[in-house]
Amino acid sequence: MGLDQAGRLLAWYDAHGRDLPWRVKGHATGARQEPYFVWLSEIMLQQTTVAAVRDYFRNFVALWPTVEALAAAELDDVLRAWAGLGYYARARNLHACARAVVDRHGGRFPAEIDALLALPGIGPYTAAAIAAIAFDQPHAAVDGNVERVISRYYCIEEPLPDSKPLIRARAQSLVPLRRAGDFAQAMMDLGATLCTPKSPNCLICPWTEDCVARARGIAAELPRKAAKKPVPTRRGHAYWITRPDGAVLLRRRPEKGLLGGMMEVPSGDWAAKLPDAAFPFPANWRKTAGKVTHTFTHFHLELTVWVAELDEVSLAGARWVGREQLHTEALPTVMRKVVAHALGEG
C-alpha cells in the first residue's frame, strides 16, 4: 500500500514542491540537503510560518553560513538576529546546539536519531526531519500539516492530541525506503498547499482516490481537536526610563524562564490580578494612556507602561542604550510594543 501512495506523492512533489531557500533543487536526482540548513529551518519553523521564516533564514545564513560559524558567534548577536521570531528559548538552544555539534561531532550533524535527540533543542519531530531530509533515513517527520493529511487520509476521528500515536504510526507505515527525505517534504507541502485546514483542494490531490475522509465527505472536519481551555490573561507594569540625552535603560531578563536572556524594558511580575506598581527608583513617574497587549502561546498579557526621566541611575543587569540603537537590541516582540508605546507617548 505504502509504495503506491509514496510514488504518487513523490511524482506530485517533483512537479509542484515549494521553492524554499533551505531546499536543494532536483529532488528526483537524489541531491542531498545540507544538514545545517535543514536543522536551522526546522528550528525556525516551529510555531512559525514559512512566510515569516524565509527572510530570517536568509539573514542567518548570510551571517553564519556554517554551523561552525554559528557556534563561534556571540549569543547576544544570535538573539538580535532572532528577535521577532518569538519563542526565544529556541534561539538559545540553537546556539547551544551549534556548539554541541562542533564540540561533540566535529562540526557534522549526526545522522542517527538517538544522537540527534541528545543535542540541545532537538525533539522527536526535529530529529526525524533531519534524519529523513538530510540523510534520507526512513523516518516519518510528523508536524501539524502531516497530522492533518494522515487524519484525513485514514479518516482518524479520534481528537488530537490523543490521536497522535496512531497518526505517527500510520505516517511511518507510508515512508518509502528510497527518497525518504523527499517524501517527508512532500507530506509537509501537501498539507500546506492542498490539504489545508479549511477547504482542502481534493480535486487535484495525488491521494484523493484513496482518501477515506474525502470519500465520506468529512475531510474538512478533520482532524478533530479536543476543546481548548480558555486562555488566561496576566497583567503587569513596564518602566520606561530615559536620561536627559535620550538614552533608554534596558535590562536583561533572567537566563531561565519566559524570554530568558532577552533584553527588556524593565518590568515587574505578571499576574492574573494587576500587581501594585513596584517602581525601580524614586522618580516623578507618569502612567501612560492605554495598555500594551501581547498574546503568548498560553496566555494574554496586558502591560501598564510608566515613564520617568532620571539623570543617572544603575540597575542590576541593566545598561543605557541610545534611542537610535534600540532597533539593534535583542528585544522580544512584546518589548518592541512597549518601546513603540512609550515613544508614541512623547
Catalytic residue list: 42
Handedness of CA 150, 156, 160, 164 (dihedral sign): negative
**What CA–CA distance (Å, rounded) separates 42 from 52?**
13
Query: Which helix (H) or strand (E) element contains residue 2?
Result: helix 2-16
- In this structure, what are the phi and psi dihedrals at residue 283, rounded to the nearest 5 degrees? -170, 175
Query: Which helix (H) or strand (E) element contains residue 48?
Result: none
**What CA–CA distance (Å, rounded) separates 185 from 70?**
25
Helix (H, G, I), strand (E, B) or coil at 236: strand
Helix (H, G, I), strand (E, B) or coil at 159: coil
Strands 233-242 and 300-309: parallel
**What CA–CA distance (Å, rounded) separates 246 from 182?**
53
Retrieve residue 116's grid coordinates: 540527534
**What CA–CA distance (Å, rounded) separates 308 from 243?**
9
Retrieve residue 315's grid coordinates: 540597575
Handedness of CA 152, 154, 159, 161 (dihedral sign): negative
- In this structure, what are the phi and psi dihedrals at residue 318, rounded to the nearest 5 degrees? -110, 160
Beta pairing partners, 160: 225
**What CA–CA distance (Å, rounded) separates 269 from 236?**
6
Angle at 208 between CA 204 and CA 210, to 5 degrees: 160
Do 120 and 93 contact (CB within 8 A), yes or no?
yes
Instruction: Say which residues have a Cβ less than 8 Å from residue 16's Cβ, sequence separation at least 6.
Output: 189, 193
Q: Which amino acid, residue 215?
A: A
